[in-house]
Amino acid sequence: MIAILSPSKTLAVEKPRQSGKHTIPDYLEHSEILVDKLRKMSSGRLARLMGISAKLADENRQRYQQWATPFDPTNAIPAALMFKGDVYDGLRAETFTAKDWRFAQQQLRIVSGLYGLLRPLDLVQPYRLEMGTKLTTRRGKDLYAFWGERIASGLRDDIEASKGDPVLMNLASNEYFKVIGKKRLNVKVVAASFKEMQGNSLKMITFFAKKARGTLARYMTQNQIKTVEGLKDFREDGYCFNSRLSTDDQLLFTRGG
């Protein structure tokens, strides 16, 4: 079983303490194609392309000017430590033990607009490039066309090599799962959702749901879980598995009721 997460727009401000081990992204030559195109753009064009402020556009233009290979621990950070935000507040990779990192490297992946598919210890340099960005390249009109079947193919290989259920556990957003697609993947996909009881009904609160996806990935990692059935024992932050409202391809965790 392989679980996937989305990246985060929020990145580590200070260089975190690293695990001591690292790997290099598998799709770095494709990243270089994108960076080469992006570094030629003005701040104004980046702002329009990404729908961001002038300040953020200036910051990211500088990032792309400085982006350079080869990656090593002096100029890059493991992906699971660089990404911050709600999902990664739940994952808390900075507290992983050596055993946790080994499992995460085998069973956890991060889908990225710039890097394609990342393992937690893959070194990355700071960037902003959401998967939904309409960046035109020779491969097509957007990043979905640019990555094509590459990410799905990589995940199929990872799932085949992994232990436990031959399943993709989808903990990513729709924007990032879209680049994979069930038809391209051709294996069983199970998603997890998290809802709160408010009044007489269950509601999905984005902030809580994002953090819970990271917390579930952390639970999976620390408990070495390789089956969907094993995830049903998840009991963190008040959530519990709701067997009545879950289906074979959708695990629902609820709290407050």
Mean pLDDT over each residue of the chain, to the nearest integer: 95
> Which token pair is 195?
């809802």
Give bridge partners of residue 255 from the DSSP assignment.
196
pLDDT tens digits for 109-152? Answer: 999 999 999 999 999 999 999 999 999 999 999 999 999 999 99
pLDDT score for 193? 97
Look at the block and give the residue holding tokens 């890059």.
76
40 CB-contact burial (10 Å; exposed 0-12 / middle 13-18 / buried 19+) = exposed
- Domain ranges for the chain, please list them: 2-255
> Which token pair is 236?
């963190």
Q: Give the separation between CA 49 and CA 53, rounded to whole angstroms.
A: 11
pLDDT tens digits for 36-84? Answer: 999 999 999 999 999 999 999 999 999 999 999 999 999 999 999 999 9
Q: Where are the beta strands (DSSP E) in the chain?
A: 2-5, 77-78, 108-112, 116-118, 123-124, 167-171, 188-198, 201-203, 240-241, 250-255
pLDDT tens digits for 181-218? Answer: 888 898 999 999 999 998 889 999 999 999 999 999 99
